[in-house]
Amino acid sequence: MKAIVYRTYGSPDVLEFTTLAEPTPKPDEVLIRVVASSINQGDWHLLHGEPLLVRPSAGLWRPKHPILGADVAGVVVAVGRAVTRFEPGDAVFGDLSASGRGGFAEYVAAPEDALALKPAAVPFADAAATPTAGVTALQGLRTHGRLAPGQQVLVNGASGGVGTFAVQIAATLGATVTAVCSTRNVAQARRLGADTVIDYTQEDFTQGGQRYDLIFDTVGNRSVAEYRQVLAPQGRFVTTTFLPALALRGPWLARRGGPSMQNMMAKPDRDDLAFLAGLLEERRLTPVIDRCYPLDETADALRYVGAGHARGKVIVVPEGADGSAPTAAHAIAEPGDRP
Ligand SMILES: NC(=O)c1ccc[n+]([C@@H]2O[C@H](COP(=O)([O-])OP(=O)(O)OC[C@H]3O[C@@H](n4cnc5c(N)ncnc54)[C@H](OP(=O)(O)O)[C@@H]3O)[C@@H](O)[C@H]2O)c1
């Protein structure tokens, strides 16, 4: 199979487009023919091996897993003997960050627990765009942010991968949404469901009179004190970035009965993924796709995302991937049968 491989940490220049043997699924895994994958900032960090705290799990001196790409959508072509939820021909999607990634390839083996069925009406590219960014937004708003209908939420970074999901999900959860983005993305934020849009090139959201029940932050560009001054007295602040000041100060603020402020780490979750699949199917959630790259141009796709101004998600598609039924050669059930 064709795959994008890295053997050493570095810039996108270290990526090679090469041919490898197809993976063999373990008993609890399925083999997926990848129809689309999407890029996350996490791929950029693992490519560079930075920050250094990723290295204990990613490989101290060189990458443990040679193929990046956590988010995939595709068609099951073989199943391990312990797999109960899927069979060849099923269209699935999921986040493989807990099992070594591998999505920037024509085939990937994935634990069945990481996957959900892709609703037939949802395009593969939309499904591939959703797992990491969508689940992060959902957990940030609902689990950590405890967002309730009628509350005021501000989404900082409303035009990025996570932010475009957050604006839509917050609106779906019944909140009144203020989105912060740059001028070129203002109209898009309104279309996604924001009630108010703040163009950060014109206005500083930390200086306004509005107080928010929840600030969901994906940028981390302000100080804890600045975020706090626009939080309601019992409000919550959740950031997907890491603010070192919060690691100590967050629990201290909570003990004093003030607002809750926390760094969050999303966890792949099958139920959250299935919830998002429902929203996608009902068209209450539509991923924003900025660009689509062929697999052999994954390095360019990563450069684009790494620059930090993608508008929604960036998709990678293997050549000839079209989402049709698996070929006869792949319609086999036992991992030992794989070439
Ligand atoms: N903790 C977790 O579990 C978790 C999970 C997923 C992601 N993350 C992290 O969350 C962050 C966001 O991820 P992402 O996938 O959304 O990134 P992304 O797609 O690269 O988002 C970049 C967006 O940030 C916007 N932006 C840049 N400067 C801004 C500013 N000053 N104010 C408001 N918006 C600004 C850009 O919009 P403009 O072009 O309009 O400036 C762009 O659309 C990253 O740090 C990522 O590593 C964490």
- C-alpha 6/C-alpha 317 separation (Å) is 18
Are residue 237 and residue 150 in the same domain, yes or no?
A: yes
**CATH number of the domain enclosing 243:** 3.40.50.720
What pLDDT does 255 receive? 72
User: Ligand 1 center to residue 202 CA distance, Å?
Assistant: 19
Are residue 14 and residue 33 in the same domain, yes or no?
A: yes
Q: Residue 256 pLDDT > 80, yes or no?
A: no
DSSP H or E run through 277: helix 270-281
Are residue 148 and residue 212 in the same domain, yes or no?
A: yes
Domain that holds residue 19: 2-130+287-337
Are residue 140 and residue 116 in the same domain, yes or no?
A: no
What pLDDT does 269 receive? 95
Examine residue 235 and state whether it is found in any structural domain, yes or no: yes
Are residue 61 and residue 155 in the same domain, yes or no?
A: no
Examine residue 279 and state whether it is found in any structural domain, yes or no: no
Examine residue 212 and state whether it is found in any structural domain, yes or no: yes
Examine residue 323 and state whether it is found in any structural domain, yes or no: yes
What pLDDT does 323 receive? 52
- Work out the burial of residue 160: count CB atoms within 10 Å of its CB; fewer than 13 is exposed, 13-18 middle, 19 or more buried: buried
Look up residue 64 and give its two tokens. 């443990």
Domain finish residue from 216, 231, 263? 263
Are residue 180 and residue 141 in the same domain, yes or no?
A: yes
Contact of 191 with 122, CB cutoff 8 Å = no
Contact of 169 with 192, CB cutoff 8 Å = no
Look up the pTM and report it. Answer: 0.94
What pLDDT does 329 receive? 34
Where does ligand 1 bind, in terms of residues with CB under 6 Å? 40-41, 132-133, 136, 156-157, 159-163, 180-182, 185, 200, 218-219, 221, 240-241, 264-266, 305, 308-311
Examine residue 239 and state whether it is found in any structural domain, yes or no: yes
139-186 residue pLDDT tens: 999 999 999 999 999 999 999 999 999 999 999 999 999 999 999 999
263 CA: nearest ligand 1 atom: 1
Residue range 23-48: mean pLDDT, rounded? 98
Examine residue 275 and state whether it is found in any structural domain, yes or no: no
Are residue 71 and residue 140 in the same domain, yes or no?
A: no
User: Ligand 1 center to residue 219 CA distance, Å?
Assistant: 5
Are residue 9 and residue 116 in the same domain, yes or no?
A: yes
Are residue 242 and residue 318 in the same domain, yes or no?
A: no
163 CA: nearest ligand 1 atom: 16
Q: Residue 336 pLDDT > 50, yes or no?
A: no
User: Ligand 1 center to residue 157 CA distance, Å?
Assistant: 6
Are residue 119 and residue 140 in the same domain, yes or no?
A: no
Structural domains counted in the chain: 2
Residue 51 has phi, psi (to 5 degrees) of: -65, 160
Examine residue 58 and state whether it is found in any structural domain, yes or no: yes
Residue range 282-307: mean pLDDT, rounded? 97
Radius of gyration for the alpha carbons in the chain, expressed in angstroms and rounded? 20
Residue range 188-216: mean pLDDT, rounded? 97
pLDDT band at residue 92 under the 50/70/90 scheme: very high
What string of DSSP letters covers 182-242?
-GGGHHHHHHHT-SEEEETTT--GGGSS--EEEEEESS--S-HHHHHTTEEEEEEEEESS-
pLDDT band at residue 335 under the 50/70/90 scheme: very low
Question: How far are the Cα atoms of 51, 74, 132, 161, 248 from residue 30, in angstroms, in the given order?
Answer: 31, 11, 20, 27, 42
Are residue 249 and residue 293 in the same domain, yes or no?
A: no
Are residue 237 and residue 320 in the same domain, yes or no?
A: no
Domain finish residue from 231, 248, 263? 263
Examine residue 278 and state whether it is found in any structural domain, yes or no: no
49-78 residue pLDDT tens: 999 989 999 999 999 999 999 999 999 999
Q: Residue 328 pLDDT > 50, yes or no?
A: no
Handedness of CA 99, 103, 109, 114 (dihedral sign): positive
**CATH number of the domain enclosing 61:** 3.90.180.10
Q: Whose CA is nearest to atom 22 of ligand 1?
A: 160
Residue 308: CB atoms within 10 A of its CB come to: 11
